[in-house]
Structure 1
Amino acid sequence: MSLLLSPVPILLVVLLILSLRRDARWTGNAFLLSLTALTVLFALAAGSDSAAGALVGGVLVLIAVLSPLLTLVLIGFLIANGVFMMRKEGRSLGNLLSLLAGLGLLAVIVGAAISLRFAAEHPWLFVVLTFAALLGTWAGYVLTSYLVYDVVYAWIASRTSARYVMVHGSGLIRGRVPKLLANRVDAGIAHWSRVRETHPDALLVLSGGQGPDEPRSEASAMAEYAREQGVPQEAIVLEDRSRTTEENLRNTRGLVGTVLPADGPGLTVTSSYHVLRTAALARRVGLDAQVAPARTAGYFWPSAFLREVVALVARHKILHVLVAAIVSVPLPLVIAFAVINA
Structure 2
Amino acid sequence: MTTTANRTKPAARASGAPAGVEPVLTGVQTITFAKALTLAMADAMEADTSVLVFGEDVGTLGGVFRVTDGLTRRFGPERCFDTPLAEAGIVGMATGMAMNGMRPVVEMQFDAFAYPAFEQITSHVAKMGNRTRGLVRLPMVIRIPYAGGIGGVEHHCDSSEAYYVHTPGLTVLTPSTVTDAYVMLRDAIASPDPVVFLEPKKLYFTKDTVDLDELRSRYDADASVSSSIGTSVVAREGTDATLIAYGPSVSIALAAAETAATEGRSLQVIDVRSLVPFDDEGVCAAVRSTGRAVVIAEAPGFASMAAEIVARIQERCFHSLAAPVLRVTGFDIPYPAPRLEKYYLPGVDRILDAVDNLQWEN
Bin for the TM-score computed over the shorter chain:
under 0.3
The structure with more strand, counted as a fraction of residues: 2
If asked which structure has higher relative contact order (CA below 8 Å, sep 6+), I would say 1
The TM-score with structure 2 as length reference comes to 0.27
